[in-house]
Every structure is written in C-alpha cells, then in structure tokens.
Structure 1
Amino acid sequence: MRKIAAQFFISLDGVVEAPDQWHFPYFNEEMGAAVDATLGTADTLLLGRRTYDSFAGAWPGREAAGGEDAPLAKLLGDARKIVVSNRPLEPGWRNSERIEGDLAGPVTALKNEPGTGRIWISGSVSVVRRLLAAGLLDELNLLVHPIAVRTGLRLFEEGGAPIPLKLLSCETFETGVLNLFYSPATSAGHGTYDDAKAHLPQHQQH
C-alpha cells in the first residue's frame, strides 16, 4: 500500500499559515535537504484547492523562466497532482485531476494503487485534518521553527478530539528548527497523577 506523508513549516505556537512571512530566515542547507528528501520520494501530490491554486499560479511560470528553481518547478509539474475541490479545475498545469466529496473512498483507492512512490501533501491544512480524522495519513513531518507567530491558521483546530501521535525521529538544525516525524498512534495511553509520582525524585513528591 502506498503511503501518504504531509509536511508543514510550523511555528512554536502551531501556526502554519503564510510561512513566507516568517520561515525564510530559518531556511538553510539542512532545511533544503529535508524538503528535497521528502519530495524526492513522491510521485503524486495531494493538495487542497487553495494550495493548488497558489502552486499553479507560480510554478509553471518558474519552470518556463528557466531560473535556478526551474528543476523543482519541473518536478512539481511532472508529478501527478490530485486536487480536493468541489469546483472544476482551470486548464493549465499539466497532470492535474480533481476529487470531491468524501475523501475516504478516493484516497483509499489511491493508496491501493500499484507503485512505491509516496503521496505528498504540502500545506493543505483542511485535507490533512480530514485524513487524520479518517486514519488515512501515514506520516506527519513538522519542521518546527523557533518563533511564536501569534496570528494565523493553526494546524490543529480547537474543539476536536485529541489526536495521539508517535514520534518516529527528531533532528535539530543549526537554526534551531526541529525536524520531527510522526505517525498516528492508536492511543495516547493511560496515566494518572499517582502514576506520574512514581517517576519523581522523592524530595519532589508531595
């Protein structure tokens, strides 16, 4: 079964919106390698409509311009792009198709297609939330920046059920960015204050 992986630039206070306003001071070779490693294993992009429209408005032009980011633009253009949207797609960016309505069926069918390439999500908060709720997201890569943005859309909305996750790996960049990989966990486990007390030094127990 193919795997679905999502990647976010995220602040300490959980903001993922408009990373172009706060992310770039932390972009170094380590960050570039981390993004390339994730994208390099994918042959399919799964995108929300807003993210798709943003990408489609920028990357085809960059590919045509032939600048230093043209290879990445071509990689994105050549990839299969599946857009979650109730509105028809405007023709233009090649290899784009649309799914709508309930994601469980189409995404499960996508994961069951032959092949080993990953399905990659960049941004697309609403899509990731729906996949987490449906148990269809396999990996969540959070590049946590050492800044509290204090305004903007957060990855995890308030009021929903807890989402337990399992830490797969952790790396610290020179900039202080944490490169964290998680997978969904079946349960957060059980514990009480009395359980926690057993792990405190004796002089801290009250």
Structure 2
Amino acid sequence: MRKIVASLLISLDGVVEAPDQWHFPYFNDEMGAAVDATFSAADTLLLGRETYEGFAGAWPEREAAGGEDADFARKLGDARKIVVSRQDLSLTWRNSEQIKGGLVDAVTALKSEPGKSGKDIAMSGSVSVVRQLLANGLLDELHLLVHPIAVRKGMRLFDEGETTLPLRLLSSATFRTGVLHLVYAPAEAPGDATYEDAKAHLPQGEQ
C-alpha cells in the first residue's frame, strides 16, 4: 500500500492560506532540503484544483526558463499529477489527469497501485483534500512547516467538526529560522481522562 504524504506551510496560529504573503522570509536551505525530500520520495502528486492551477501557471515556465529552480520544476513536471475537482478541467501541464468518481474510492484505489519502486504520493497545499483524507483515514503522514509568525487572518488547517483527529508525532526538527518541521501520522484516540487522573503527574511537595 502506497503512502500519501501531505506537506503544508502553516503559521503559528494555524493559518495555511496565502503562504506566499508571509512564508518567503523563512525559506532557507534547510526548508529547501525538506521540501525536496518530500517530492523526491514520490512519483505522484495529488492536488486540489486551486493548487494545481497555481502550480501549472508557474512551474512549466520556470522549467523552460532554465533558472536555479529549473531542476525542481522538471521534477514536478515529470511526476504524475492527479487533480481533485468536481469541475471538468482542461489540464495543460504534462502528465496530468483528473480524478474520476468519488474521492474516497479513487484515492483508496490509487494507494493500492504499485507506483515506481513503492514511491509515495505527495500533496502540497490542497487543504480541503487534506481534510477529507484525514477524516477518512487515508492520509499517512502530515508534514507541517510551522512558521514563527501569527498571521491572524485566513483559512486554518483544521475546520470546525464534531470529532477529534488524534495524531502522533513521528519526528521534529528546528530550523535556524525558527521554523519547526513536524511530521505526524494518524493515531488512536488517547482515551478518557480527567483532572483527577492528571494531577498524579503534578510535582509533589516535600513530604
């Protein structure tokens, strides 16, 4: 079964909207390496419509321009790109296709495909898709690049809901800029507890 790995730029107060307005001052070689590692481990990209259109409007031109980011742009272009949308789309970027049928059934089938040497399926942005996959137990890893800034407006990663989404921390790293690279996986619910259970772990005074 192939893994789906979602990577998101997120502020300290949980905002994931319009990172181009607050993210770039924190981008350094450490973050570049983390982003490249996520995409290098994948041969398929799963993207929401808005994210796909943003990528398709920028990366092919950057690849053609042959600048410093041309190699990364070529890597994105060569990957298989699967777009989630209820609209009929005209996909102009090479190796692009639109998901057919319901999201849950289509992604379940996608995870069962062999891929190239077991490579991952990567996601970037596409918050509404990430939410749906988390809710349906289809997201294997959530990579959060937490920026030390409170944006104070915009869409948050987690929306209002009736159920909780327990996660377990797989790894963490602190970049020189203060950005935290946190990798989570879904977890079982921690169970019920009260203050009476918790107070046993408070520091005890001298006896």
The verdict on a shared fold, with TM-score over 0.5 as the criterion, is yes
Q: Equivalent residue for 2:156?
A: 154
Q: Equivalent residue for 2:174?
A: 172
Q: Equivalent residue for 2:186?
A: 184
Q: Distance in 1 between matches of 2:34 and 2:91?
A: 32
1:42 partnered with 2:42: yes
Q: Distance in 2 between matches of 1:10 and 1:91?
A: 28
Instruction: Give the Å deviation of 1:161.
Output: 1.6
Choose which of 177, 198, 201 in structure 2 pairs with 1:196.
198
Provide structure 2 residue ranges, at least 5 long, that are not aligned to the other structure: none
User: Are 1:131 and 1:137, in contact at CA under 8 Å, matched by a contact in 2?
Assistant: yes
TM-score (norm 2): 0.95
Q: Equivalent residue for 2:21?
A: 21
Provide structure 1 residue ranges, at least 5 long, that are not aligned to the other structure: none
Q: Equivalent residue for 2:93?
A: 93
Q: Distance in 1 between matches of 2:151 and 2:56?
A: 27
RMSD of aligned alpha carbons: 1.3
Q: Equivalent residue for 1:105?
A: 105
Instruction: Give the Å deviation of 1:87.
Output: 1.7
Choose which of 140, 143, 146 in structure 1 pairs with 2:145.
143
Q: Deviations over 1:54-73 (max 9, x none)?
A: 11111111111111111111
Q: Distance in 2 between matches of 1:160 and 1:120?
A: 28
Instruction: Give the Å deviation of 1:102.
Output: 2.3
Name the SS for the 2:201 alignment partner: coil
Paired-residue identity, %: 71
Q: Equivalent residue for 2:32?
A: 32
Instruction: Give the Å deviation of 1:33.
Output: 0.8
Letter in 2 for 1:179: H
Q: Which moved more, 1:158-167 or 1:138-147?
A: 158-167
Q: Deviations over 1:48-100 (max 9, x none)?
A: 00000111111111111111111111111100000001222224201000115
User: Are 1:165 and 1:185, in contact at CA under 8 Å, matched by a contact in 2?
Assistant: yes
Instruction: Give the Å deviation of 1:36.
Output: 0.8
Q: Equivalent residue for 1:132?
A: 134
Q: Which moved more, 1:155-164 or 1:24-33?
A: 155-164
Q: Equivalent residue for 2:53?
A: 53
User: Are 1:47 and 1:122, in contact at CA under 8 Å, matched by a contact in 2?
Assistant: yes
Name the SS for the 2:62 alignment partner: helix
1:65 partnered with 2:46: no
Q: Deviations over 1:101-140 (max 9, x none)?
A: 5211110110000131100000000000000011000000
CA distance 1:118–1:193, shift in 2 (3 Å)? same
Count of aligned positions: 204
Q: Deviations over 1:177-203 (max 9, x none)?
A: 110000001213321101110000124
List, as ranges, runs of 4+ consecutive aligned residues in structure 1 with deviation greater than 3 Å.
none
